[in-house]
Structure 1
């Protein structure tokens, strides 16, 4: 088996055996990574790379939004609204080629990721 195949198998196994809390953290970690790389690519004039990273970040936010149970807790509707705002902002950032707008989105996401991580650690 080749190295890329082994890596893909490892990733598939990691995802399929992860708890819901771990999956959520994996999504948030990848979202932050995409935003960092998208911002950096914009700053370096790498338009296609930036577009790929930002649209992948949008896909993750869309997944987070569609899987959010807005009836589950009082803060869920606000989180859903934040996800909607982030999607709109990232679309605008991508069109305007604005690393500042991507950074602002990352600044909103990182504390959420950290809070989810703390909650997961406290629960398990």
Structure 2
């Protein structure tokens, strides 16, 4: 088995066996990575790579938005609005090549990721 095949299998197994809280953090990690690469690509003048990464980031945010139960907690509607804002910002960043918008979305994504990571750790730490 090749190194790439082993890596793909590891990632697939990790996703398949991860609890929902861990999956959420994994999504945010990928979102932040996409945004980092998009920003770097814009800085280097590589609009094609930047565009692909921004589109993938939009897909992740749309999935987060689609699976958000806005009735589960009082902050749900606000988070849904934030997701919509982030998608709009990424669309505009992609159209205009505006790195500062990508960085702004990345900042929000990092803060959300860190908050969810902390919440997941508390849930795991509390145990059954």
TM-score higher than 0.5: yes
Corresponding position of 1:87: 87
1:65-101 CA distance string (max 9 Å, x none): 0011111111011000100000011000000001010
Within-5 A mapping of 1:19-38 = 19-38=19-38
Task: Give the 3-state SS of the residue equivalent to 1:93 in structure 2.
Answer: helix
Corresponding position of 2:99: 99
Please list every run of 5 or more consecutive structure 2 residues that lacks an aligned counterpart in the other structure.
Answer: none
Question: TM-score when scaled to structure 1?
Answer: 0.97
Please list every run of 5 or more consecutive structure 1 residues that lacks an aligned counterpart in the other structure.
Answer: none
Corresponding position of 2:73: 73
How large is the Cα RMSD of the aligned pairs?
0.7
Corresponding position of 1:7: 7
**Alpha-carbon separation, structure 1, partners of 2:6 and 2:24:** 24
Question: TM-score when scaled to structure 2?
Answer: 0.94
**Alpha-carbon separation, structure 1, partners of 2:101 and 2:94:** 9
Counting matched residue pairs gives: 124
